[in-house]
């Protein structure tokens, strides 16, 4: 029954956030720590690439 609740949410920013929160709550503490460490390591690289892609997209629109 719980599984259908995850799939029945509407797609959108709020639905995505709530689904991510449900998944996060179900993870064991060790896996949560692994995810946090990976995000700390790779997060700045991903953010920099997103900003580059965004600036390129804006330049193309002009």
pLDDT tens, position by position, 22-38: 999 999 999 999 999 99
C-alpha span between 38 and 51 (Å, rounded) = 20
DSSP symbols for 4-57: HHHHTSPSSHHHHHHHHHHHHHHS-HHHHHHHHHHHHHHHHHHHHHHHHHHHHH
The residue ranges of every structural domain in the chain are 2-61
First to last CA, the chain: 50
The tens digit of pLDDT for each residue in 35-59 reads 999 999 999 999 999 999 999 988 8
Q: How many residues in the chain?
A: 62
The answer to whether the CB of 20 falls within 8 A of the CB of 4 is no
Predicted TM-score of the model (pTM): 0.60
């Amino acid at each position: 029954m719980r599984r259908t609740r995850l799939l029945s949410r509407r797609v959108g920013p709020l639905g995505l956030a709530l689904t991510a929160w449900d998944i996060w709550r179900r993870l064991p503490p060790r896996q949560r720590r692994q995810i946090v460490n990976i995000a700390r390591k790779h997060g700045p690289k991903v953010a920099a690439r997103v900003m580059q892609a965004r600036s390129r997209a804006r330049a193309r629109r002009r």
